[in-house]
Structure 1
Amino acid sequence: MTQTLLTLDGVAFSLADGRPLFAGLSETFDRRRTGLVGRNGIGKTVLGRLLAGELAPSAGRVLRQGRVYRLAQQLAPEGTTLAQLAGVHEALQALDRIEAGAGGEHDFEILAERWDLRARLQAELQRAGLPPLAPETPAARLSGGQAMRVALAGAWLADADFLILDEPSNHLDRAGRQALLAQLARWQGGLLVISHDRELLETMQAIVELSPLGLRRYGGGWSFHAEQQAQQRCDAADELARRQLERRRETAALQREHERQQQRQARGRRERADGSQPKLVLDARQERSEATTGRLQRRHDTRRAELEAQVRAAAARVVEDTAIVVPPLPPAVLPNEVLVFDGELPFVAPPLARLSLVLQGATRLAVTGPNGCGKSTLLRVLAGRLAPAAGRCERRVACAWLDQRLADLEPSQPAIEWLRAACRQRPEAELHTRLAQLGLAAATLGSVCGALSGGERLKLALARALLADEPARLLLLDEPGNHLDLATLQALEAMLRGWRGALVVVSHDEAFLAALALHERLEATPQGWCRS
């Protein structure tokens, strides 16, 4: 029998404002590779933090056996070093003090006899396809994919019994994703992967879904989960329809029975009025009728309550798959040349440093290539956030840049205020309506941007770009799918397919790119940028 490593026992959690996020969660996790799925904002990351012991539940308890290591979704706050990103900063500092002869008992506890930690770190970085990097290297110098590889290297170095990985394939290129799958296949400890990556989830031995109904476990990978989930939703909808039909039929039958009793009482009143029956007989008959009516009313009330309870119970098993509507950009005439870049990219090595690029009209361009080749740098230059090393970059329409970290969001500012600052000409009611269409609940709009989930932040940033007083006509998207659940990603695909503006998108998700009806591709190759 597989040893249980983590146990949820009636766990509940409430947000800082008192709103309940979930309640009554009970589940066990062992060494089987398990995927955790669910809509954005449902609480997957919070649940991961509860399992890792980083948060305390509002009710219930979390039991752990062995050491748990959690890889966070948001990897590198400003000022983070490579060692901090890999989770070995304190251990390396302890090692330095011990080697300098200034180590104390606490240093030996932190190091835990990992005397070869520096060598192991470099070996893991090499295995991840990264060049030799000093532990004090600023994480800001790394691309999103390189940062994720460093963080994953830290996970393998953690000597943990159970790993919790939150969106580990985010930012990884194709080679990085294949390396991650290979590493997970070799992992012998417990594993919980929070992800919307269908290829990664397919390799799991079980899928646990978090929904408004709680946690539900499915055996097998993503395909089996999707098939079972679809069947369960169909069954739940059928059960609800059956219970609703039963309620209508029985309510109609109860009404007919009530009307017949009313008719009998009416006949008794007519007979009393015309005096055709002795009063003693009529009084006895009336007494029996009133008693029957009382019993009948109580029986009807009880049955109606039972029918209502059955319908409510059936409805509670139906999870509404609410459609998400991304606000469309109003049609506009685009100039012949939307963007012109002719020059050299900073921080990018030859031959990829040099590029000449002209976007004409509603061009739809994918930018692809391995991690670290300069794709994000290119988008920053095109957005005007970074000056070219040489040459010129001209934008001839309003441009919106949504980077991997969504750096433009003000973490301490309420979401609605951050949106309103760019959308002063739109009524408050319209902003709330548009955000609701995006799947952002009214309660989240008062939350500060830093408290929103990754998907919620991306939807908020997208709304600001499209609803601004000067709406964007050129969208520069850097790995937008990294923050979205599957339903929202498909909604974004649909919006971008029908959008009339110009689009440049960086992504390693080939399924996402295939859905966008792209015109061209700009690929980073060993020979330089290749446009096809």
Structure 2
Amino acid sequence: MLILQNISYTHPNKDLLFSTIHLAVNNHDKIALIGNNGAGKSTLLKIINQELAPSNGQIIIDTIPYFVPQIFGQYNHLSIAEALKIDGKLNALKEILNGNTTEENFNVLNDDWTIEDRCNEALKYWQLNDLDLSQKLESLSGGQKTKVFLAGISIHHPELVLLDEPSNHLDSESRELLYNYIQSTKNTLIIVSHDRKLLNLLHTVCELNKNGIKVYGGNYDFYAEQKEMEKNALNQDIHNKEKILRKAKEKERETLERQQKADSRGKNKQEKAGVARIMMNTLRNKAENSTSKLKSVHTEKIDGISQDLQTLRSAVPDTDKMKFGFDNSQLHKGKILFTATDLTFGYTNKPLWKTNLNFQITSGERIALKGKNGSGKTTLINILLGNFEPQTGTLYRAANKAIYIDQDYSLIDNHLNVYEQAKKFNSSALEEHEIKIRLNRFLFSKEDWQKPCSALSGGEKMRLLLCCLTIHNKAPDIIILDEPTNNLDIQNVHILTNAINEYQGTLLIVSHDEIFLEQTNMERSIVIE
């Protein structure tokens, strides 16, 4: 069905994104395409979809793929029908039914008399019954846009489906619909995702990096086991190489000490034997040359071992190099932070929630805030933060220091560069070199310090924000995260999970990623409807 032969792609600025991509995809394969942010996963999907041309290599494909994109802004000016490329057929069908039976209309329709029925069925399956095909995509939420493109699969009946982060922005109920489709479909699938529940439904994991693709024959759990084995083997290799390096340095020291003692004894004998000065100088030069050659041999060996060790250490996953060191909240555990009594809110006269909200949040709790898309989770967060006031009911707020990390990482100032952003959080008067040490710890090297924050990916912004929180000398009493794993690769989800688990204050997290919630040890849920 699909063969990629020696595919490479170079950005217009001449930076190589990836090379030597070889991959064969057979009918009914279900493949996960994973890799760190910036590895080129979305670019590779676009190459397969023939939206982009590779810099080198050949694509052999015997079908027209259907593509569910990750970012929808480029379609906002289109209607749903136009975005799904069915507007022509729908217009032709309408014209024919109205009596305009031209040859052009019949050619456009191409005997697809069920197109309207399939559209209605597809939208109904994805819970989009209330949408009109003439609506502009700009009027839809992120979750609705995703579901519109997912609905296109059953409208077009493709053999090969490419999906780029399809579970992003979907609520739990919509995610279950997606999982059911993936399990039941006979379509060939290539899916870019960080959703580990979704990845476990796929049969093969392909890991993309700059130098090619590595194929793991199993689901994500199998892949994770293999990576853990590789990591353990790497750590063992590093340990063994460090031991060899220590022994080589000890042998060098011992050998040089023996040589120096031998040279010293020889010199003493020569002096006692009354050897002429000119001969003494000759013998001393020979001894020094011999010692120098001996040292050179050992230095060469040690340099080779050190280089091998450096290569091994460079292969250690970035997440294992990071250190967090978050401070804990100063509030005593169990202090009441919020008490909501019969809370209601609405942007019109219609209440946002079916039932009034009643809940209490105390210091040290780890709480998941759950609800369907559009149920008002972000609105409730704004009420807790004091940005909105409830229309009826009461909300008690204790004095507390809260950090709100939204989906757009708005705490990051896009007008600053990376170093300036870190310095902005430096309330404890850290020296410049200490700030830069923290940045290095969070994988921002010297080359990144002047990079504008506006150019950072979602994962990079998340890492920078975590770094800023460690620079700030006062830990927040409560951290609120709104869909924090959207648009993060698996590595950055792992980084975020580790950071959250080191923080001992109050956590309120909005997420539809059940595995993420489980791994961050959420204790209870507040569910709004």
Return the match for 2:68 from 71, 77, 83: 71
Preserved contact between residue 419 and residue 436 of structure 2 (Cα < 8 Å): no
Q: Does 1:33 pair with 2:30?
A: yes
- 1:240 to 1:434, Cα distance in 2 relative to 1, 3 A: closer
The match for 1:165 is: 163
Separation (CA, whole Å) in 1 of partners of 2:485 and 2:424: 24
Return the match for 1:480 from 473, 477, 484: 484
Preserved contact between residue 383 and residue 400 of structure 1 (Cα < 8 Å): no
The match for 1:322 is: 321
Preserved contact between residue 344 and residue 351 of structure 2 (Cα < 8 Å): no
Separation (CA, whole Å) in 1 of partners of 2:282 and 2:502: 77
- 1:67 to 1:431, Cα distance in 2 relative to 1, 3 A: farther
Separation (CA, whole Å) in 2 of partners of 1:256 and 1:513: 56
Return the match for 2:517 from 487, 507, 513: 513
The match for 2:457 is: 453
- 1:36 to 1:332, Cα distance in 2 relative to 1, 3 A: same
- 1:387 to 1:328, Cα distance in 2 relative to 1, 3 A: same
SS of 1:131's equivalent in the other structure is coil
SS of 1:217's equivalent in the other structure is strand
The match for 1:366 is: 368
Percent of aligned pairs with the same amino acid: 24
- 1:476 to 1:290, Cα distance in 2 relative to 1, 3 A: closer
Return the match for 1:221 from 219, 222, 230: 219
SS of 1:27's equivalent in the other structure is strand
SS of 1:480's equivalent in the other structure is coil
Alignment of 1:97-496 (within 5 A): 117-139=115-137, 142-155=140-153, 157=155, 160=158, 162-210=160-208, 215-270=213-268, 272-275=270-273, 296=294, 299-300=297-298, 302-320=300-318, 321-323=320-322, 325=324, 327-328=326-327, 330-331=329-330, 337=338, 342-346=343-347, 352-357=353-358, 359-362=360-363, 364-379=366-381, 401-404=404-407, 406=408, 408=410, 413-414=415-416, 416=418, 419=421, 423=425, 429=432, 438-439=442-443, 443-444=447-448, 446-449=450-453, 451-460=455-464, 475-486=479-490, 488-489=492-493, 492-493=496-497, 496=500
SS of 1:5's equivalent in the other structure is strand
Mean alpha-carbon deviation: is it higher for 141-150 or for 407-416? Answer: 407-416
Separation (CA, whole Å) in 1 of partners of 2:142 and 2:469: 22
Separation (CA, whole Å) in 2 of partners of 1:291 and 1:440: 46
The match for 2:80 is: 83
The match for 2:526 is: 522
Separation (CA, whole Å) in 2 of partners of 1:427 and 1:109: 72
- 1:421 to 1:379, Cα distance in 2 relative to 1, 3 A: farther
Separation (CA, whole Å) in 2 of partners of 1:518 and 1:366: 6
Separation (CA, whole Å) in 1 of partners of 2:286 and 2:448: 60
Preserved contact between residue 344 and residue 353 of structure 1 (Cα < 8 Å): no
Mean alpha-carbon deviation: is it higher for 44-53 or for 124-133? Answer: 44-53
Mean alpha-carbon deviation: is it higher for 368-377 or for 293-302? Answer: 293-302
SS of 2:486's equivalent in the other structure is helix
CA-to-aligned-CA distance 1:78-102 (integer Å, 9 cap, x gap): 9455628x942x5526864897799
CA-to-aligned-CA distance 1:16-35 (integer Å, 9 cap, x gap): 6x7x6755453314133222
- State the number of aligned residues: 514
SS of 2:128's equivalent in the other structure is coil
> Where in structure 2 are there 5+ consecutive unaligned residues?
none
- 1:331 to 1:273, Cα distance in 2 relative to 1, 3 A: same
Which one-letter code corresponds to 1:343 in the other structure? T
CA-to-aligned-CA distance 1:388-435 (integer Å, 9 cap, x gap): 67677786656555444x284789644549957975857684766665
SS of 2:71's equivalent in the other structure is coil
CA positional deviation for 1:220: 0.8
- 1:260 to 1:40, Cα distance in 2 relative to 1, 3 A: same
Preserved contact between residue 338 and residue 396 of structure 2 (Cα < 8 Å): no
CA positional deviation for 1:39: 4.0
Preserved contact between residue 346 and residue 353 of structure 1 (Cα < 8 Å): no
> Where in structure 1 are there 5+ consecutive unaligned residues?
none
Preserved contact between residue 5 and residue 190 of structure 1 (Cα < 8 Å): no
Preserved contact between residue 31 and residue 202 of structure 2 (Cα < 8 Å): yes
SS of 1:366's equivalent in the other structure is strand
Separation (CA, whole Å) in 2 of partners of 1:106 and 1:329: 70
Separation (CA, whole Å) in 1 of partners of 2:283 and 2:440: 61
- 1:212 to 1:521, Cα distance in 2 relative to 1, 3 A: same
Preserved contact between residue 18 and residue 40 of structure 2 (Cα < 8 Å): no
Which one-letter code corresponds to 1:366 in the other structure? A
Preserved contact between residue 466 and residue 472 of structure 1 (Cα < 8 Å): no
Preserved contact between residue 92 and residue 109 of structure 2 (Cα < 8 Å): no
Which one-letter code corresponds to 2:514 in the other structure? E
RMSD after superposition: 5.1
Preserved contact between residue 6 and residue 64 of structure 1 (Cα < 8 Å): yes
Which one-letter code corresponds to 2:205 in the other structure? I
- 1:204 to 1:376, Cα distance in 2 relative to 1, 3 A: same
